[in-house]
Structure 1
Amino acid sequence: MEMRRQHFPGRAPIDAYGNGGFRFADMSHRGSILVLPSGIYGWEPAEPPRVSSEDLGRLFEEDPAPELLLLGTGEDLVPQGPELRQALRELGVTLELMSTGAAARTYNVLLAEARVVAAALLAVE
């Protein structure tokens, strides 16, 4: 059986989160997700809840780059290292840290405003 990386090719609001996953576009996904203008991808950082620029590699390939990355760090806000913020700044992307729930809600508002935004959302139980 061939396992393929999960990918939804488009933008969609996050309908629900919790129980270790997310619901969007009439589908559910177990695990964390990376939401980009090019689509929604299954995503697992190497050492959650810490995220590195390597974990966000696909974000650095987006053209054009999103103006903002909402990083949902789980149930609680978890500070990230300065190297992540610097790498994003060099790309022209502003980083906003928040809980996963707050990040999902904020993403939906910005998506409705047609903003070019991305979200990296760690799954919560």
Structure 2
Amino acid sequence: MKLKEFRELTADMRRLVNDWHACVDESERQLWRDRAYRFFPAFTSATSPRASSRDLENRLEAYRDCLGLLAIQRARVAIRDQAAMPRTSRYNKSPARAVRLSRAARGAMRRGYF
């Protein structure tokens, strides 16, 4: 790959990172994620024998910035999904709920309900 193309890919990755900060809502962030995942194969496979150490450092920094934003996005989605789950649903899956049910069942059996 030519050095110019290599540097343009790095500049495109930086632009992609900067574009994330312009996202207003979740739909735009989802579009940004899709765009980032489509861009990754071309970016990661790019090599240039003429690239200087500075070019490689810039490329690595842009790559880390983008990965950091994607990690933040994954964490936000996980938090959003957990928050979307009703409180009772989380409680019903908890170990405390199982303990309370077993105690209630034992009490009902002692009282002769079963």
TM-score, normalising length: structure 2: 0.25
Decide which structure has greater helix share: 2
- TM-score normalized by structure 1? 0.23
Q: Which has the higher strand share?
A: 1
Larger Rg: 2
